[in-house]
Amino acid sequence: MSDSVFLEPVRIGMVGGGADAFIGAVHRHALRLDGACELVCGALSSDTAKAKRSGLDFGLSPERAYGSYQEMLTAESALPPEQRMEAVAIVTPNHLHLPVALAALEAGFHVISDKPATLNFEEAQTLAAAVKAAGKEYGLTHTYLGYPMVREARHLVQSGALGTIRKIYVEYTQGWLSGALEQDNKQAAWRTDPSRSGPSGCMGDIGTHAHSLVEYVTASRMTDIRAWLQTHIVGRQLDDDGMCFFKLENGSTGALTASQVCAGEENQLRIRVYGEKGGLDWSQEEPNTLMVKYADGRQMRHRAGSNMPLSADAASMCRTPAGHPEGYLEAFGTLYINFARRLRGDQTAFVPGISEALRGMAFIQSVVASSEQNNAWKEIQNG
């Protein structure tokens, strides 16, 4: 990635992500990575004491370590424009994404949020209207769209190198919920709780990443989904496993699998796209390599690196020479630096936004509805 010079880093206030929160730490590392953003304040927990303590632990000044996001918005709005935060980073459980985003937008702040954008599709529609009314930037941290080789994959599809796209396979498998971890783990507890996670567990948590990857790489939207969701752990309230077949606007078809009960798997997100001339294969656990196989037998191994022959978009996202691995934090950092660029006037910088937010929530709603319909069909068959 080319050096970025910001006369003034974008000032960020964070909601959620206090002590012991996984994704909050990732956001903090990522936003600082390129010097384009700085964390200036936060309301880092719903527990006031923990929020203030976490703020001090993370180096915030005592007067800007707030006890609630409402207090943060009020206090920051009263500061001079050159001092107050410019954007709010939302890293809470899903059920708080909408109320925090609405309050931030109404107060005149930009928003960058963890995914999925809201608790359900109806909330996403409310959010979209609020973003339009406020005229502010909205970013959604679909991390995997920040990898250089994902951008290269999109370039290959759009350039016609693979020919007309015919088939897509995408899978996102984890094993961390193979047991009833929600009994003792707060990250598992809220992700399996419908009141905090939404109508879907696994599909809402990681299936949305697989969905966004398909639509981004192919530059085509899903138009038809046939899904099946399943819960393997007795007593678990939401799905921990699922799959769906889909069709895209470009006429291609595919299969999407998402599971958090594949024992032994870590974070295996993989996409394969096949056209009439060839296919590509990318895996998140080996993110710097993109394999391309052609119908005439040629195989090409595309590699990330600032000195590699890549498309301009992919090359612009590489920070180091080939052979110096870049990974999850760098991909996350790319979203933040592009968010900062947009706030500084560069509207060509890509960050998943409100459109992707709506698409993700529509995907979840469609998958849940389709799965319920399939269950109804099963009941009719057995009736």
209 DSSP assignment: H
Residue 77 shares a structural domain with residue 176: no
Q: Give yes or no: residues 155 and 138 share one domain.
A: no
- Among residues 151, 149, 158, 164, the alpha carbon closest in space to that of 277 is found at 164
Q: Is position 197 within any domain?
A: yes
> Is position 365 within any domain?
no
pLDDT at 375: 65
With both helix axes pointing from N to C terminus, report the angle between 97-106 and 69-77 in degrees, rounded to the nearest 10.
10
Domain carrying residue 249: 148-320
- The predicted model scores a pTM of 0.94
| Domain identity same for 103 and 119 | yes
Is residue 135 located within the same domain as residue 152? no
What is the model's pLDDT at position 22? Answer: 85
Number of domains in the chain: 2
Q: Which of 101, 126, 143 is the last residue of a domain?
A: 143
How confident is the chain (383 residues) per 10-residue block, as mean pLDDT? 66 94 93 96 95 94 97 98 97 97 98 97 98 98 97 98 98 98 94 97 98 98 97 97 98 98 98 98 97 97 93 94 94 97 95 98 97 71 56
- Do residue 196 and residue 48 come from a single domain? no
Final residue before a domain boundary, out of 143, 176, 191: 143
Query: Are 103 and 224 found together in one domain?
Result: no
| CATH code at position 115 | 3.40.50.720
Establish if 369 belongs to a structural domain: no
Can you tell me the distance from the alpha carbon of 39 to that of 28, in angstroms, rounded to the nearest whole number? 7
Query: Is the Cβ–Cβ distance between 123 and 116 less than 8 Å?
Result: no
Q: Is residue 152 situated within a structural domain?
A: yes
pLDDT value of position 20: 81
- State whether 166 and 138 are in the same domain: no
Give the 3-state secondary structure of residue 92: coil
Helix (H, G, I), strand (E, B) or coil at 269: strand
**Do the beta carbons of residue 243 and residue 231 sit within 8 Å?**
no
CA distance 196 to 358: 19
pLDDT given at position 369: 96
Domain check: are 138 and 197 in the same one?
Answer: no
In a domain, 380, yes or no: no
Q: 110, 143, 176 — which closes off a domain?
A: 143
